[in-house]
Structure 1
Amino acid sequence: MKRETLFLKLAVFLIGLPILALCVWGLPAIAKEAVETYPAYWVYPLLTVMYVSAIPFFIALVQALRLLSYIDKNKAFSERSVRALKIIKTCAITISILYAAGMPLLYLIAEEDDAPGLIVLGMVIVFASIVVAVFAAVLQKLLTNAIDIKSENDLTV
Structure 2
Amino acid sequence: MSREHHYRPAVEWTGNQGSGTSNYRAFSRNHTVSAEHKPDLLGSSDPAFRGDATRWTPEDLLVVSVSQCHMLWYLHLCAVAGVVVTAYRDDPIGVMVEDDEAVGGGGQFVGITLRPTVTVRDPEMVPTAEAVHGDVGARCFIARSLNFPVAHQPRVSAEPGR
TM-score, with structure 2 as normaliser: 0.30
Higher relative contact order (CA 8 A, sep 6+): 1
TM-score, with structure 1 as normaliser: 0.31
- Looking at secondary structure, tell me which structure has more helix per residue: 1
- Looking at secondary structure, tell me which structure has more strand per residue: 2
